[in-house]
Amino acid sequence: AQKVTQAQTEISVVEKEDVTLDCVYETRDTTYYLFWYKQPPSGELVFLIRRNSFDEQNEISGRYSWNFQKSTSSFNFTITASQVVDSAVYFCALLWMDSSYKLIFGSGTRLLVRP
Amino acid sequence: EAQVTQNPRYLITVTGKKLTVTCSQNMNHEYMSWYRQDPGLGLRQIYYSMNVEVTDKGDVPEGYKVSRKEKRNFPLILESPSPNQTSLYFCASSLMRGRSPGFITDTQYFGPGTRLTVL
C-alpha cells in the first residue's frame, strides 16, 4: 500500500533556529516520486521539491535542504535559520503510479516560527 | 505567467443549488485533477483527466461531475450540493511524459483553492 507518514503534527521554534520536518513513506514500486509542498496561512499549495527514487543526492536550495534515504524510506526537510515567513503547513507527498497519478499526501506538519 | 486559476475563491451556497467551480491552466498540461482538503483527512482526489474528453474517478467522486472539453479547462460541477461537500477544493495540473502504458506525470501545480461552504 502507498502511504506517507508525517509524525510531527506541530512544531514551534524561535526564529533563526534550524528545524527538520520528517517524512516516511511506504510503496511497493521501485520507481516513485516524492514531493514537498508548503501551505501558508493564505491556503494555496506551493511546490517546493520533487525527487525520484533513483536520485538519492541530497539537495540544498537556499535555507532549505532535503535528505532522501531509501534505506529508511525517509525524505526529510530541513529549514536552516528559520524565519517567521516559514510558518506554514508542510506536506510530503508520494506520486501514485497507477492510472490516476494522484498524489498521496501525508497529514502535514504545522510549523510555527516565533519572532 | 504560468499558473492554474480557480474561480470562485470563496463560495457560500445552500443545499441543492447547482454550482460550478472553474479551473484553467495556461501551461498546455495534459493532466488535470481535483482534490478536496478536509481537516484530519488530508487531500483526497475527486476526479482526474489525462487529456481532452478523458476523465476518470478518483477516491471520492460521489456528488461531483467534471468535463474536459478543452485542454486548458477542467470545471468541477456539484449538481446538488450537500453540507458534507463543505471543503477546500484544489485543482492541479501537470505535463504527461512518455507513452501509454508508461506515462509519467511531471510535477503537479495547484491552483489557489476554492473554499466552499454548503448550508
CB < 8 Å to A43, chain B: 88, 112-113, 115
Nearest beta carbon to residue A100 from set B42, B58, B115:
B58
3-state secondary structure of A93: strand
Complete DSSP assignment for A42-91: T---EEEEEEETT----EEETTEEEEEEGGGTEEEEEESS--GGG-EEEE
- Among B105, B106, B109, B116, the strongest candidate for a mutation testing the A interface, having the largest count of A CBs within 10 A, is B105
The whole-number pLDDT of residue B1 equals 81
Q: Measure CB to CB from residue A43 to each of B42, B48, B88 and give the nearest one.
A: B88
Per-residue pLDDT of B105-118, as tens digits, reads 678 899 999 999 99
Residues of B in contact with A97 (CB under 8 A): 104
Query: If phi over 0 gives left and psi between -120 and 50 gives alpha, with beta otherwise, what is residue B59?
Result: alpha
Q: Nearest CA to A19 among A90, A94, A107, A98?
A: A90
Q: Which of B39, B34, B30 is nearest to B6 (CA)?
A: B34
CA dist., res. B88 & res. B104, Å (int):
27
| Non-local CB neighbours of B62 within 8 Å, separated by 6+ positions | none
pLDDT (0 to 100) of residue A59: 86
Give A30-76 pLDDT, tens digit per residue: 888 999 999 999 999 999 999 988 888 888 889 999 999 999 999 99
